[in-house]
Amino acid sequence: MKELDTLQWRPALHYTPQRNWMNDPNGLVYYKGIYHLFYQYNPEGNVWGNMSWGHATSRNLLDWVEQPVALAANRTEEVFSGSIVVDAHNTSGLGSAALPPLVALYTSVYKPGSGHEPGVQAQSLAYSTDEGKTWRRYAHNPVLTLDPESSHFRDPKVSWYAPGGYWLMCAVVADAHVVKLYRSSNLIDWTFLSDFTLPDIPHHGALWEMPDLLPLPLDGNPANEKWVMIVNVNPWSIAGGSGAMYFVGRFDGTRFVPDDVAPAGSDPVRWQWLDHGADYYAAGTFSNAPGGKTVAIGWMGNWDYANDVPTTPWRGAMALPRELALKTVDGRPQLVFAPTESYASLVGRSPTTRIAQVGLVSSTQALPAVTRGVVQNIELTIEPGSAHRAGLVVRSSADGATGTRIFYDTQAQTLTVDRSHAGDTSFSRAYSPQHIANLPLHDGRLRLRVVVDRASVEVFADDGRAVVTDLILPTLADDRVSLFAEGGDASFRDIAVSDLSRMRQGRAHP
Ligand code: FRU
């Protein structure tokens, strides 16, 4: 497909590099008023390879500015995923009290001639003393290897464990379904703490990647802190292919113990997921985020078909940053998700069309022409009534043949995003048609926020109790919104469609 044709899929709200391939978010850190997003990047081309760390910065998690490549693959190694911390007290000795270093822990993947078996993975360190602009590799890398060396030991995520007064690292042995925990006083010398794994891995053959371990207050009560372990798993996700699962439990400074784990052999539905869509992977959280917030970013992609997504000259986008909270829902602690305040405020100042109520009986109704758009925030409450299915179609063509259907199924009590007729679906046989979240209604109504960007939908359901993130590839002409009820009546209330098309990536920092 020609470059001009695919520019219609360049997101306005989501970060993409100007050119070339991108996957996992890396080194998410906030420092001196700037959010840094590093990421797996191929500086040489538009498919996965030559893995390096690309870099973008933002003041508000919404306007991103691409920066020069931070850590490039070289003669001896490729640079796989990892994390960054602010070494405020210069524990590493790599900066000074006046100029505390930013310290990155990343995975070295060794090449022939490196002195390691080709393909071996180990954890290495790089640092910056100019607020993240330029990066130097530590002279005595790697800082952590397995014995015997492994070619699946990767994705170090480092945080400060305040109760113990030490740095904590989790990293995976991806093919062994193990998260390994380590501690350090200086980010250089690491001591093994424990392994986290499951007694009966339900998904042999899948990889565990990109772990994250973080504390969150339950129901906003700081006296009731729980720990959340995020494990990205590929394939075997709830929507097929790659996905982000999590466990809620306790951490005593050495060991993470989940509160409850689905029985052996159970279906992915029994596990907990950050997202129920096909395109949310490698999710991790920001270090040093202001205001005590926990903000996550995931890669809006799926390894099943990521290399085939027909965009050029770039391939890969990040999902919207989200705030995470832990809430008791249906009797158990669960993550809930909200777009960031900066996103909510963008919606608040954008032109918005409001419709108080629409009632439908087994029919479809287009919303007025003023709601047409390809970059929009749609909020509404659905009361499914006697309908079997009730919902909306976004990015719909004039004849309704093309569109992404988002609906509630009253019998199954599920929310579905159906992208089987969303536009171009031909680029990969692995591009899955439907993604479903279990969502029993609490009071017969469902509140939805749908974020539509040129090549994606993100559906936040019921105050962020479930999110479905999916890539879609419609044409610019597919810009209509409609509502529908099947097999009975349904009511739609408090509909608000905001036009966010004035948003544009890549501007200078305000
Ligand atoms: C996850 C992942 C990581 C690895 C990186 C390589 O998507 O496979 O485990 O570090 O991507 O690009």
- pLDDT tens figures, 394-418: 999 999 999 999 999 999 999 999 9
Q: Where are the beta strands (DSSP E) in 129-177?
A: 136-137, 153-161, 166-173
Dihedral sign computed on CA atoms, order 240, 431, 23, 173 = positive
Instruction: Flag whether pLDDT at 323 surpasses 50.
Output: yes
Distance 297 CA to ligand 1 centre (A): 15
As given in the structure block, the two tokens for residue 386 are: 């006697």
Q: Do residue 232 and residue 366 come from a single domain?
A: no
Structure confidence at residue 505 (pLDDT): 63
Q: Do residue 103 and residue 49 come from a single domain?
A: yes
Report the mean per-residue pLDDT for the chain. Answer: 96
Residue 442's alpha-carbon distances to 184, 320, 462, in angstroms, are 46, 27, 9
User: Does residue 348 form part of some domain?
Assistant: no
The percent of residues in the chain predicted with pLDDT above 70, rounded, is 97
Which residue's CA is the nearest one to ligand 1's atom 9?
209
364-368 LR contacts (CB < 8 Å, sep 24+): 364/393, 364/400, 364/482, 364/483, 364/484, 365/482, 365/483, 365/484, 366/396, 366/480, 366/481, 366/482, 367/480, 367/481, 367/482, 367/483, 367/495, 367/497
Structure confidence at residue 492 (pLDDT): 98
Q: For 219-266, how does the pLDDT look when each residue is reduced to its tens digit (9 = 90+)? A: 999 999 999 999 999 999 999 999 999 999 999 999 999 998 888 777
Q: For 154-166, how does the pLDDT look when each residue is reduced to its tens digit (9 = 90+)? A: 999 999 999 999 9
Question: Last residue of a domain, which of 279, 310, 339?
Answer: 339
Instruction: Flag whether pLDDT at 200 surpasses 80.
Output: no
313 phi/psi in degrees, rounded to 5: -90, 15
Total domains in the chain come to 2
* Cβ contact 92:103 at 8 Å: yes
Distance 80 CA to ligand 1 centre (A): 6
Task: Give the sheet arrangement for strand 136-137, strand by strand.
Answer: 77-86, 102-110, 121-128, 136-137
- CA–CA dist 54, 65 (Å, integer): 11
Indicate the residue type of 232. N
Q: Do residue 97 and residue 206 come from a single domain?
A: yes
Mutate-to-test residue for ligand 1 from 52, 108, 172, 209, highest number of ligand atoms within 8 A of CB: 209
Instruction: Flag whether pLDDT at 202 surpasses 70.
Output: no
Distance 62 CA to ligand 1 centre (A): 24
- CA–CA dist 101, 86 (Å, integer): 7
Domain span holding position 257:
3-339
Task: Give the sheet arrangement for strand 446-453, strand by strand.
Answer: 352-361, 489-499, 376-383, 446-453, 456-461, 466-471
Which residue's CA is the nearest one to ligand 1's atom 6?
80
CATH of the domain at 370: 2.60.120.560
SS3 of residue 352 by DSSP: strand
Q: Do residue 359 and residue 210 come from a single domain?
A: no
Mutate-to-test residue for ligand 1 from 21, 24, 124, 172, highest number of ligand atoms within 8 A of CB: 24
As given in the structure block, the two tokens for residue 92 are: 């590493």
Residue count (the chain): 510
Which atom of ligand 1 is the closest one to the Cα of 174? 9
Distance 81 CA to ligand 1 centre (A): 6
Which atom of ligand 1 is the closest one to the Cα of 232? 1
Q: Do residue 42 and residue 164 come from a single domain?
A: yes
Distance 124 CA to ligand 1 centre (A): 15
Eight-state DSSP code of residue 346: H
User: Does residue 345 form part of some domain?
Assistant: no
Residue 111's alpha-carbon distances to 151, 213, 318, 368, in angstroms, are 12, 30, 29, 58
Residue 121 burial (CB count, 10 A): 27
User: Does residue 509 form part of some domain?
Assistant: no
Q: Do residue 379 and residue 293 come from a single domain?
A: no
Q: Do residue 296 and residue 324 come from a single domain?
A: yes
Candidate ranges 2-6, 302-306, 503-507; pick with highest mean pLDDT: 302-306
277 phi/psi in degrees, rounded to 5: -90, 180
DSSP 243-267: EEEEEEEEE-SS-EEES--PPTT--
- CA–CA dist 425, 434 (Å, integer): 12
Q: For 181-199, how does the pLDDT look when each residue is reduced to its tens digit (9 = 90+)? A: 999 999 999 999 999 998 7
Catalytic site residue from 5, 24, 212, 463: 24
The percent of residues in the chain predicted with pLDDT above 90, rounded, is 92
The yes-or-no answer on residue 24 being catalytic is yes
Question: Last residue of a domain, which of 286, 313, 339?
Answer: 339
Q: Do residue 461 and residue 370 come from a single domain?
A: yes
Structure confidence at residue 508 (pLDDT): 44
Which atom of ligand 1 is the closest one to the Cα of 210? 9
Structure confidence at residue 261 (pLDDT): 87
Q: Which residues are near ligand 1 (CB < 6 Å)?
A: 23-24, 40, 51, 80-81, 107, 154-155, 209-210, 282
Instruction: Flag whether pLDDT at 438 surpasses 80.
Output: yes
Nearest to residue 240, comparing CAs of 394, 448, 435, 2? 435
Strands 314-315 and 20-31: parallel
Q: Do residue 216 and residue 102 come from a single domain?
A: yes
Which atom of ligand 1 is the closest one to the Cα of 81? 10
Q: Do residue 325 and residue 452 come from a single domain?
A: no
Q: Please, which residues bridge with residue 182 across strands?
A: 169, 192
Mutate-to-test residue for ligand 1 from 20, 26, 38, 40, highest number of ligand atoms within 8 A of CB: 40
Question: Last residue of a domain, which of 304, 339, 374?
Answer: 339
Which atom of ligand 1 is the closest one to the Cα of 155? 10
Q: What is the enclosing helix (H) or strand (E) of 342?
A: helix 341-348
Distance 145 CA to ligand 1 centre (A): 17
Distance 173 CA to ligand 1 centre (A): 12
Which atom of ligand 1 is the closest one to the Cα of 299? 7
* Cβ contact 85:159 at 8 Å: yes
Distance 240 CA to ligand 1 centre (A): 17
Structure confidence at residue 502 (pLDDT): 87
Which atom of ligand 1 is the closest one to the Cα of 154? 10
- CA–CA dist 274, 298 (Å, integer): 9
Rg (CA), the chain: 23
Q: For 91-141, how does the pLDDT look when each residue is reduced to its tens digit (9 = 90+)? A: 999 999 899 999 999 999 999 999 999 999 999 999 999 999 999 999 999
CATH of the domain at 325: 2.115.10.20
403 phi/psi in degrees, rounded to 5: 165, 160
- CA–CA dist 368, 351 (Å, integer): 15
Mutate-to-test residue for ligand 1 from 210, 303, 315, highest number of ligand atoms within 8 A of CB: 210
* Cβ contact 200:264 at 8 Å: yes
Instruction: Flag whether pLDDT at 288 surpasses 50.
Output: yes
Q: Do residue 332 and residue 365 come from a single domain?
A: no
Q: For 474-488, how does the pLDDT look when each residue is reduced to its tens digit (9 = 90+)? A: 999 999 999 999 999
* Cβ contact 212:324 at 8 Å: no
Q: For the full predicted model, state whether its pTM sits above 0.75.
A: yes
Q: Do residue 66 and residue 179 come from a single domain?
A: yes
Once rounded to an integer, what is the mean pLDDT over residues 419-432? Answer: 97
